[in-house]
Amino acid sequence: MINRRHLLAAGTLVALALRLPVPALAADEPIRVVASFSILGDMVQQVGGDRVRVTTLVGPDGDAHVWQPAPADARTVADADLVVMNGLGFEGWMDRLVQASGYDGPVAVATTGIVPRQMAEAEEGEEDHDHDHHHGGTDPHAWQSLTNARIYVHNVLEALIAADSDDRPVFEANAAAYLKKIDALDARIRAEIASVPADRRKVVTSHDAFGYFAAAYGVGFLAPVGVSTEAEASAGDVAKLIDQIRAEKIPAVFMENISDPRLLDRIASETDAKIGGTLYSDALSPAGGPAATYLDMMDYNVRTLVAALRT
Ligand code: ZN
């Protein structure tokens, strides 16, 4: 008896012999998802599991603020079933890239529903100034709080279900398991931070990437440049920061995996602050590194912070 499976196998053999394209079994193919940067790529992978094939545009240790797409990236986007981006102004290049690629599928914004943090550069007493006078703008680094990560996961889940409703139960089960891990890590981070004396919970990083972390976990962050790495710190900004580190006895400065460490080296050498290590701000580490997934990244950052601040 010849069933459908045999016919398919025979057809494949004929196709191989004739060097014809083997017909794809569309229903079994994972959906192709393009994520704008490595942290989001990992979240999509966690929720999508083996039902997605994830390609990340800005890879490990990459800086999405200053990234520039290559022609190959437009081809990657053109082949996607779903594009997922952070939003909040993080990927200034995305609209043009999508347009240039000819892709007309769904573009999901993972921060939808998150209350964005506004970077007000106003000093005390200036809060009433018109918003247009502030230089910072919207802070895109919303993933730096695990409360926000829950919203990312929900948005990714919705986008995957919309793109592939057959695999809804798989996506929902993956998301539920992932949210449990997120909650557990959130609780552990709060306990770890609580072990640091309150007056030592302040640090300096390269750029202003930890505002959501600061708000969620009660650690003060200062940086010589704003929410984008595109700007360069002025000599005046650096001098002011050095004064502030001395005045407030800030214990440690931290490098970032996406930024040049030289400026922070100099700042540390001119103050009593020590170099506390490297924090992963806007990108994961390569596979095999200490922050190869989003949850490993948050865990690593907190352990690095706490180790430097507790002593
Ligand atoms: Zn950044």
Tens digits of pLDDT across the chain (311 residues): 444 444 445 445 554 555 555 444 466 899 999 999 999 999 999 999 999 999 999 999 999 999 999 999 999 999 999 999 999 999 999 999 999 999 999 999 999 999 999 976 533 333 443 433 334 589 999 999 999 999 999 999 999 999 999 999 999 999 999 999 999 999 999 999 999 999 999 999 999 999 999 999 999 999 998 889 988 889 999 999 999 999 999 999 999 999 989 999 999 999 999 999 999 999 999 999 999 999 999 999 999 999 999 87
Query: Ion ligand 1 — residues with CB under 5 Å?
Result: 209, 282
Distance 129 CA to ligand 1 centre (A): 25
Instruction: Output the pTM of the full model.
Output: 0.87
Distance 73 CA to ligand 1 centre (A): 21
Distance 122 CA to ligand 1 centre (A): 20
Distance 86 CA to ligand 1 centre (A): 12
- Beta-carbon contacts of 298 under 8 Å, excluding residues fewer than 6 positions away, are 144, 146, 185, 189
Dist CA 159 CA 276 (whole Å): 39
Nearest to 113 by CA among 163, 168, 150: 150
Distance 196 CA to ligand 1 centre (A): 26
DSSP H helical segments within 33-118, as ranges?
Answer: 38-48, 71-78, 94-101
Dist CA 169 CA 181 (whole Å): 19
Alpha carbon distance, N-terminus to C-terminus of the chain:
75
Distance 215 CA to ligand 1 centre (A): 16
